[in-house]
Amino acid sequence: MSSSSQGDSTLQGRKIIVGVSGGIAAYKSADLVSKLVQSGIEVRVVMTSAATHFVGTATFQALTGKPVVTELLSDPAYPLGAHVELAAEAQLMCIAPATADYLSKVAHGQADDLLTTLTLAYPGPLLVAPAMNSDMWAKPAVQRNITILKEDGVHLVGPGTGWLSCRRTGAGRMSEPVEIIDAIHKRLPSDSQ
Domains of the chain and CATH, by start: 11-187 (3.40.50.1950)
Exposed / middle / buried, residue 112 (Cβ in 10 Å: 0-12, 13-18, 19+): exposed
Pairwise CA distance, residues 52 & 33, whole Å: 15
160: part of which helix (H) or strand (E)? Answer: strand 160-163
Per-residue pLDDT tens digits of the chain, which is 193 residues long: 344 444 555 667 789 999 999 988 999 999 999 999 999 999 999 999 999 999 999 999 999 999 898 877 666 676 556 677 788 788 999 999 999 999 999 999 999 999 999 999 999 999 999 999 888 898 999 999 999 999 999 999 988 766 566 667 767 778 999 999 999 989 886 554 4
Note if 94 is an active site residue: no
Active-site residue among 111, 136, 166, 178?
Answer: 166
Cis peptide before 159 (omega within 30 of 0): yes
